[in-house]
Structure 1
Amino acid sequence: MREVQRAVGAELNRIGPVIDELGDRFAAAGEALALVGGPVRDAMLGRSQNDLDFTTSAHPDVTERLVAGWAEATWDMGRRFGTIGCRKGPWQVEITTYRSESYDPTSRKPEVDFGDSLTGDLGRRDFTVNAMAVTVPERRFEDPFGGIVDLAHRLLRTPGRPEDSFSDDPLRMMRAARFAAQLGFTVAPEVVEAMAGMADRIDIVSAERVRDELVKLVCAPYPRRGLALLVETGLADRVLPELPALRLERDEHHRHKDVYEHTLTVLEQTMALEERLPDGGPDLVARFAALMHDIGKPRTRRFLDDGTVTFHHHDVVGAKLTRKRMRALRFSGEETDAVAKLVELHLRFHGYGSGEWTDSAVRRYVRDAGDQLERLHILTRADSTTRNRRKAERLQRTYDNIEARIARLSEEEELAAIRPDLDGNQIMEILGIGPGRQVGQAYRYLLELRMDRGPMSPEEATAALRAWAAEQA
């Protein structure tokens, strides 16, 4: 407890310029102000942040007046929810009037009423670890629902009945999984039970809000915890049904890997390889591709007479299913294209064997991967979950080999920017034709030739083009 007190004291001193000045301004106006939620929780965990949330007795118009002249910029997009935002140096601040809100069971949006007490405001927050406050400027700690004890036990509990909390805002069920993934906390049994019993309530939440929670969960330090909770409670059946569908039944006659557990392991192994990326991690595209890479297996599973099981073309089917799900969750087109490409290409490497690919095949591999090549390397390596040490080492050597070949060819031929040896203008000049379909056909022919043979001299490319044109005549 003393360590927690020291951590909180150090953090309050760090953010003192903000909390003391704001506290004095509100107190002089006869209004109460308290630092609340994530900043208080994170201070106890020894984590610093510059995004500060406050709750106050002041209504938005009063708050706006009190921060005028202190803040460098203000905004009021959240005014209808009682929130005024502002910025002061490195600090991003949101100040929200005490709330007492409820949700229409059939509505996606809250009906907001202003409350009249700090305890009442804290009581309507999602979890006890987020229902702690520090009043300012006096810096008095308020914890009416035992959040500090739950924090010590690394436990997620709601201030009141979880059924009431989730009925008010069903997205809180997703947040429970997200916080489990972010903080590594255990979710209280009664909260898990409520999530399972009320999973269908998530259907009224907009796809965008669900997506945002899912992104935070997948990019968290412990995504397996959060994803497993979504599957256990049935929430995944409603927001990401492809994941629980991977729990394919097995029997003594049709033995194969547990695809669901394999997928979660691939996700964790992808995380361990993110340092290979220019920006490191967490990397949403790489992680989501790991999560979705085998979702085509349930649709393509076939049992053979000899007792084996196959999943032919699950890569292609999986890419289509990935696009469909990501569009439903309102992911951007760029993110959707990137993840779907990785899912579609994740098996391509297995045709490499022990290095039998020609340079032409390596060039095509690089061309097809495009700007996702490094992520494809990561996914391909992460997709090996074998416990056979010799097999794992053999695969590792093979991965190293193809990456070395790609590096060599890239240095020699600039693979990332591979083009035919003649451009469109040269094609038209050599063949004596104008713009049209034939130019495009010739361009594609030369590109394939470039893939097969590597770089050619202008004379060689011209001769090849003339020979091709003669065959087309």
Structure 2
Amino acid sequence: MLKNTTYNDALTHTIFEYISKAATNLELETYVIGGFVRDYFLKRNIPKDIDIVAVGSGIALAKKVAELLPTKPKVQVFKTYGTAMLRFEDVEIEFVGARKESYSEHSRNPEVEIGTLEDDQNRRDFTINALAFSLNENNYGALLDPFNGLNDLDAKIIKTPLNPDITYSDDPLRMMRAIRFASQLNFTIEEKSLQAISKNVNRIDIITRERIMDEFNKIMLSEVPSVGLLLLHKTKLLERFLPELTNLQGVEEVEGQKHKDNFYHTLEVVDNISKNTGDLWLRWAALLHDIGKAPTKKFHKTIGWTFHSHEFVGSKMVYKLFKRLKLPLNNKMKFVQKMVFLSSRPIVLATDVTDSAVRRLVFDAGDDIESLMTLCEADITTKNPMRFKKYHNNFKVVRQKIKEVEERDHIRNFQPPISGELIMKTFNLKPCREIGQLKDAIKEAILEGKIANNYDEAYSFMLKQAAKLGIKQ
């Protein structure tokens, strides 16, 4: 990769021809900058969004490009930020005028004034994101790399163009972005930059939880999320917004008895599950599956360390955590709650795989049974090869039993064969407590395997149970 080379092969998308033509018409210096250029050199999938900087009006350039394009796309204008956006074919293009920025202490929203390309590259977060290709006729495809970002790409280093103290203090979200890029790209954050993050960690508090979570979720979706999670922990960023997780760190010893470090165990579980799923919320379930252990940890002289009901406590903590972090309080949150609550059930079940226990597990997990089993298998972090093999073999037995019970008893989408309306009609009852008692008794009998999951056996059982309760037809 040579800096004095032109990279016309990077600019093969049709949109660049139109941008270059529009820039010539308006006599504007124009460049493609940031992620598109970085990912070209990294040979990653070219992003679906492209950033264009013009030395002049980015809005005027966007409108001219739209005018020249055969599809005449609509231009979205954001006057407050001096930017404009349009879509063409499979990409979204954002246009901005080159600018320089100055920040106040209590906001990441800068004061903006018109600037040069150099000013615009100075304000970029990292050297690898300050790379630009010229779209101008006289040097089309030329690389502009004032901070040796190309060398940092080769060395796999995250570094700020200017003083990292100022860069991170001005816009503290860049601290999250530095760690996100390190996690996504498996890069190293330059030591001076890493120290600056630790120094400015309190500044993250001025950033909205939504923006923090946007970056955090990208870390969670990395190939090996623990890379980013460990950096967040090392710099003390993690404890600023997710103390429930960092509270798990540490090993206590009383009378020679220790427990494992549940924080580092959790990171292993997240990495394990990430090998088998790209589902963000299942990865979140792995991240939170043990958060109830910190508040439930106790030492008993006879049995040692215990974490009784940590799954129940942890599932209750999920709602408050999601609410505070502005994560979705919908079925995604309920899914994470369910996974945390049930996370130990298959592990307990693996030692005694009875039909009734499997029925209850399938009934409670429903369509999420496969996700639950994936989580439980990821939870095996023992370094003892014999134990590792034994636990995984146990789960194979559980999976087979689930398959057998499901095929035979159809519990997953369990619908009681006897409805409340039928009970009312059979015994001439109005809505009352006894109807619920009969329905629960039928459900329990099916789950315990006393009767089959069909109408005839359930109806016969209902009549016998009603007689015991003194309910007459």
**TM-score after normalising by structure 2:** 0.91
Select which of 303, 318, 321 maps to 1:322.
Answer: 318
Match in the other structure for 2:178? 176
2:59 and 2:82 in contact (8 A); partners too: no
Q: Which deviates the most, 244-253 or 400-409?
A: 244-253
Q: After superposition, give the CA deviation of every residue in 1:12-37 in whole Å (9 maximum; x if it has no partner).
A: 23x2x111221111121111211110
TM-superposed CA distance for 1:427, in Å, is 2.3
Counterparts of 1:419 and 1:5 in 2: how far apart (Å)?
68
Match in the other structure for 2:343? 346
Match in the other structure for 1:90? 90
Counterparts of 1:26 and 1:395 in 2: how far apart (Å)?
64
Counting only pairs closer than 5 Å after superposition, residues 38-437 of structure 1 correspond to structure 2 as 38-47=35-44, 48-69=46-67, 70=69, 72-76=72-76, 78-107=78-107, 109-137=108-136, 138-251=140-253, 253-274=256-277, 282-305=278-301, 308-333=304-329, 334-354=331-351, 356-435=352-431
Residue identity matched to 2:422: Q
Residue identity matched to 2:459: T
Q: After superposition, give the CA deviation of every residue in 1:173-222 in whole Å (9 maximum; x if it has no partner).
A: 11111111111000011111111111111111111111111101100123
Counterparts of 2:412 and 2:30 in 1: how far apart (Å)?
56
- SS of equivalent to 1:243: helix
TM-superposed CA distance for 1:343, in Å, is 1.2
- SS of equivalent to 1:96: strand
Select which of 454, 462, 468 maps to 1:471.
Answer: 468
TM-superposed CA distance for 1:237, in Å, is 0.9
Runs of 5+ consecutive residues of structure 1 not aligned to the other structure? 275-281
Counterparts of 2:114 and 2:148 in 1: how far apart (Å)?
21
Residue identity matched to 2:157: L
Residue identity matched to 1:63: L
TM-superposed CA distance for 1:230, in Å, is 0.7
TM-superposed CA distance for 1:38, in Å, is 0.5
Counterparts of 2:311 and 2:303 in 1: how far apart (Å)?
22
TM-superposed CA distance for 1:101, in Å, is 2.5
Runs of 5+ consecutive residues of structure 2 not aligned to the other structure? none
Counterparts of 2:15 and 2:58 in 1: how far apart (Å)?
19
Q: After superposition, give the CA deviation of every residue in 1:87-133 in whole Å (9 maximum; x if it has no partner).
A: 111122111222323333223x5134143211111110111100110
What is the CA RMSD across the aligned residues, in angstroms? Answer: 2.2
TM-superposed CA distance for 1:456, in Å, is 4.3
Question: Judging changes above 3 Å, is the alpha-carbon distance between structure 1 residues 227 and 435 closer, same or farther for their aligned structure 2 residues?
Answer: same
Q: After superposition, give the CA deviation of every residue in 1:408-436 in whole Å (9 maximum; x if it has no partner).
A: 22222322211212123322222223455
Residue identity matched to 1:455: A
Select which of 16, 23, 28 maps to 1:31.
Answer: 28
- SS of equivalent to 1:101: strand
- SS of equivalent to 1:246: coil
Residue identity matched to 1:208: E
Counterparts of 1:3 and 1:221 in 2: how far apart (Å)?
31
TM-superposed CA distance for 1:255, in Å, is 2.4
Residue identity matched to 1:21: Y
Taking every aligned residue pair, what percent have the same amino acid on both sides?
Answer: 33
Q: After superposition, give the CA deviation of every residue in 1:149-186 in whole Å (9 maximum; x if it has no partner).
A: 11111000001011111122111111111111111000
